Amino acid sequence: MLGQLHDVDLQLLRLFVSVVECGGFSAAQGELGLSQSSISQQMAKLETRLGYRLCSRGKGGFNVTPKGEQLLNATRSLFESIEAFRHQSNGVAGRLIGEVRLGLSEALDQSVLQRVAEAIRRFRQRDESVRIELMSAMPGEMERLLLQQRLDLAIGYFSQIQNAFDYRQLFSETQHLYCAVGHPLFADAAPDDRALQACDRVDHPYRFLRSDEPFQGKLCSARAEQVEGTLAFILSGKHIGYLPSHFARAWEDKGLLRAVRREEMSFDVAFHLARHRALVPGDAQKAFEEDLLAAFA
């Protein structure tokens, strides 16, 4: 009986199927390119390996034995499975598989989200079977997740002091200094420095970001890590603070917010695509990074 299948066994089984499909040894000569005696010898070799007769030849013609019929069905199933495996293995060779984990900063502009969506669209047009995970987080949290290798890529405003990261600038975001209805500055189109310094500002925990802020007021009794928290403090009419212009626009349009000395007190924040340089990216991560850079080009 056959133990492990070897190439010679597969060759003999293929010969057996061809003989049966052709209807006999003599008829299979042209199909196999072998002489009748060679076919007969190889069939005998297969029967010896198996330990039972597969076919008979006589006055009644060529016939397959019952055991031969069972082996014929099993062999056809085997060859179908081998062919299916070949197609699948060839497909995997060029297919992207695995997972891509992307961190996104909070309160991004619609145009930025559209570019991220464009990158996803580009990626989904590839030959891929990849799970994509998007996670919104603050810059400090994204840096921590990158260091822990729980994120593959992250888009945000970073200190760029992490030697473990590679950074690629994608876009910039304009921040304005705002006050709200009820605040003393709301009715003053151009408050002087003394009036500004008398205002209670909202502090941002990322000192690298605040270092670029033109307004550096000393009075500060409010602190917010997220944009929504900063907005709540400003809307109270008791604090002033910086907000992304795209985020504040809807509140400005309602007449609830007003930029303070817009041109003088505004600044731009650079957003980067960051990744851990020690983390060797797989093919899927490389392809998604390419599509992100192309979408933001």
Which residue range forms the structural domain that includes residue 241? 174-270
Q: How far is it, in rounded angstroms, from Cα 19 to Cα 10?
A: 14
pLDDT in tens, 55-114: 887 777 889 999 999 999 999 999 888 877 776 666 566 789 899 999 999 899 999 999
Tell me: do 149 and 20 sit in the same domain. no
Tell me: do 34 and 161 sit in the same domain. no
Are the C-beta atoms of residues 53 and 47 closer than 8 Å to each other? yes
- 235 in any annotated domain: yes
Tell me: do 201 and 264 sit in the same domain. yes
- 46 in any annotated domain: yes
Tell me: do 31 and 59 sit in the same domain. yes
Q: pTM (2 decimals)?
A: 0.69
Tell me: do 128 and 181 sit in the same domain. no
Q: What is the CATH number of the domain that holds 19?
A: 1.10.10.10
User: Considering its fold, how many domains does the chain have in total?
Assistant: 3
- pLDDT band of residue 197 (cuts 50, 70, 90) is very high
- pLDDT band of residue 271 (cuts 50, 70, 90) is very high
Tell me: do 283 and 160 sit in the same domain. yes
Tell me: do 159 and 289 sit in the same domain. yes
Cite the beta strand spans of 199-251 per DSSP E: 201-203, 220-223, 241-244
- 66 in any annotated domain: yes
Tell me: do 228 and 184 sit in the same domain. yes
pLDDT in tens, 119-166: 999 999 999 999 999 999 988 899 899 988 899 999 999 887 778 899
Amino acid of residue 241: G
Angle at 188 between CA 184 and CA 194, to 5 degrees: 75
